[in-house]
Amino acid sequence: MVKTIEAAAEDEKIVAIYLKGGNASVGGYATLKEVRDALKTFRKTGKPIYAYDVDWSEPEYYLASVADNLVLDPIGSLTLDGFSAEVRFYAGALEKYGLGVQVVRVGQFKSAVEPYLNTALSPSSRQQTETLLNSLWQSFLLTLGDYRPLKAAQLQAIANQQGTLGSKEALAQKLIDKVSYPDEIEAALKELTGGPDDEPFRQMSLLEYVNIAKEQTQADTENQVAVVYLEGNIVNGEGNFGVAASESIATLLRQVRQNEEVKAVVLRVNSPGGSATAASIMGREVELLAATKPLVVSMGDYAASGGYWVSAPARKIFASPGTITGSIGTYSLLPNVQKIANDHGITWDAVETAPFANSDTIARPKTPAELAINQKSANAIYDRFLEVVSKGRSLPRPQVSQIAEGRVWSGMSAKSLGLVDELGGLEAAIVQAAQFAELPDGDWNVQEYPRQRSFEQALFDEFFSALPPQITQSFNRQKQPLTQLPTPLAQELQGLQSDLGAWRDLDDPQGIYTRLPFNLKIR
């Protein structure tokens, strides 16, 4: 999207961009900022950006606020009510149904285990979440102010006193430029683009323009800056879209390291972490690559825990102010089904040749001695994690220990702590990698690994992979999405599915994980 928008800025046949909202499924604020920055580049050419919606949500408004013709429908509203992070807790349900969970963890802020132990946020978890949200919110307010004639304090007052504004209120507060119907916007675009009176305004969708833009931006050279995408939960083995599988990613990193045409590498990390073993396998390949070629990391919405582990060895790390990173800690979830099984007449007995031979059973809780073994393993991996960060970031070990403990940081905070070098997006990271490799301007191309799906397929997968299975199955039968469920209910069902789905990715052979909280959803 960024490259396509940048190409449109230089294309004399493109005279404007029209952003049409409508409850879009959008990424986190780090991703949105990169697209927003591309729109800012487009606007600097003097070409107008039109943006229209019936109801502007905060993420959509964040993106559209760069427009010089920001429009709200007369019947519409604009939401500016602040960020919240609501966490689901399952401890009560687990107890009700007789499912036991024991945990070991390292780091007082490593809160990924809390939904299965508590019924509310612990003080340390509340503290880190408040710090994170406040940092992200302040960045949000400051960013809005670059094109809206409102300072952060004024925007905060609107959030405190109003939250949701009607079209006339939004116009009076200067949050929008105009109140209009969509046909009035299309009439303005018709005047801008010309063409026969009986036809719509001349237009080309982003999907249609992708291939044209790609042809315009490719240089005639064999020099490559490789962009390797590490997306999703970190798991072991091989995997496809949606997870960062250790063997698949390690193979890609090895290929680009051995490819003589690749002069520099950008590792794009958008992952909350996962298996500690998988992170270690990929991290080793990152270290070997960094010792061979210039390596820069570009952090997306998340690059935390295991996602930070694999980032640490890079020569330089870029993040957005809205990136969620850090979370340097470890944990292990140890479920058992003893109570629910016993309540239904199921019992177990075992014969052992050594005291710990049956320690991997889920038929009973772990003994104190068995928990001590698990804790020792978690401690050892945490110690290795600290070593990776200390070496990769050239930070003293005691300093890393102070900012670790599983604590989550925003990209802005991470930069001040030395976990991140610069604030910037993927494009900035690519340019930096080319400079490290001393490649002349215009004498290199970007090659993506793994080979990217079509833009259409990416959007389709991104949207429908988030829906509950029963809805996607029904969509396949009816060839249309079901929208009968009320939106808040649908979102909650999707959240439940996401939480439960995360258990599928708990495949670490040692049972130790470096991951963000499963269900931290900022909205």
More confident residue, 218 or 462: 218
Query: Among this protein's residues, is 305 annotated catalytic?
Result: yes
The answer to whether 411 touches 30, Cβ cutoff 8 Å, is yes
More confident residue, 276 or 501: 276
Task: Yes or no: say if 238 and 273 are a contact pair by the CB < 8 Å rule.
Answer: no
* 264 strand-pairing partners: 225
Query: What is residue 473's predicted lDDT score, i.e. its pLDDT?
Result: 41
In this model, does residue 77 exceed pLDDT 60? yes
pLDDT band at 380 (very low <50, low <70, confident <90, very high): very high
pLDDT of 258 strictly over 60: yes
Q: Are 511 and 102 in contact (CB under 8 A)?
A: no
pLDDT above 60 for 115: yes
At 520, the pLDDT band (50, 70, 90 cuts) reads low
Fold equal for 2-80+162-213 and 218-332+384-454+509-522: yes
pLDDT at 466: 45
Buried b (16+ CB within 10 A) or exposed e, 335-363: ebbbbebeeeeeeeeeeeeeeeeebeeee
Q: What is the pLDDT of residue 450?
A: 86
Domain boundaries, the chain: 2-80+162-213, 218-332+384-454+509-522
How far is C-alpha 510 from the geometric centre of its chain's CA atoms? 26
Give how far Cα 395 sits from Cα of 312, 326, 389, 398, 403, Å. Answer: 11, 14, 8, 8, 11
Whether residue 469 has pLDDT greater than 90 = no
Higher local confidence (pLDDT), 462 or 388: 388
The fold of 218-332+384-454+509-522 is: 2-enoyl-CoA Hydratase; Chain A, domain 1 (3.90.226)
Min mean pLDDT across 246-250, 350-354, 435-439 is at 350-354
User: What's the pTM value of the predicted model, to 2 decimals?
Assistant: 0.84
Model confidence pLDDT, tens digit, residues 303-318: 999 999 999 999 999 9
Q: What is the mean pLDDT of residues 259-278?
A: 93
Q: Which of 139, 167, 248, 305 is catalytic?
A: 305
What average pLDDT does range 21-44 have in this prediction? 84
Three-state secondary structure call for residue 310: coil
Residue 454 has pLDDT above 70, yes or no: no
Confidence of residue 249 (pLDDT cuts 50, 70, 90): very high
The β-bridge partners of 269 are: 230, 299
Q: Does residue 504 surpass a pLDDT of 50?
A: yes
| DSSP string computed for 348-401 | -----SSTTTTTT-SSSPPPHHHHHHHHHHHHHHHHHHHHHHHHHHT--HHHHH
User: 412-436: string of b/e by CB count within 10 Å (b at 16+)?
Assistant: bbbbebebbbebbbbbbbbbbbbeb
Q: What integer pLDDT is reported at residue 241 of this predicted model?
A: 67
Is pLDDT of 518 > 60? no
CATH architecture of 2-80+162-213: Alpha-Beta Complex (3.90)
Selecting among 33, 110, 293, 316, the annotated active-site residue is 110
Residue 432 has pLDDT above 90, yes or no: yes
The DSSP result for 117-184, as a single string, is T-SS--HHHHHHHHHHHHHHHHHHHHHHTTTSS--HHHHHHHHHHTSEEEHHHHHHTTS-SEE--HHH
pLDDT, greater one: 106 or 313: 313
Is 174 among the residues known to form the active site?
A: no
As a whole number of Å, the end-to-end CA separation of the chain is: 23
pLDDT band at 195 (very low <50, low <70, confident <90, very high): confident
Mean pLDDT to the nearest integer, 2-24: 86
Instruction: Note the pLDDT tens digit of each residue in 138-158.
Output: 999 999 888 888 889 999 999
Over residues 338-367, mean pLDDT: 88
Q: How far apart are CA 402 and CA 395, in angstroms?
A: 11
Average pLDDT, the chain: 85
Question: How would DSSP label each residue in 205-267?
Answer: -HHHHHHHHHHHH--S-S-EEEEEEEESEEESS---TTEEEHHHHHHHHHHHHH-TTEEEEEE
The answer to whether residue 472 scores a pLDDT higher than 50 is no
Question: What is the structure's pLDDT at 484?
Answer: 45
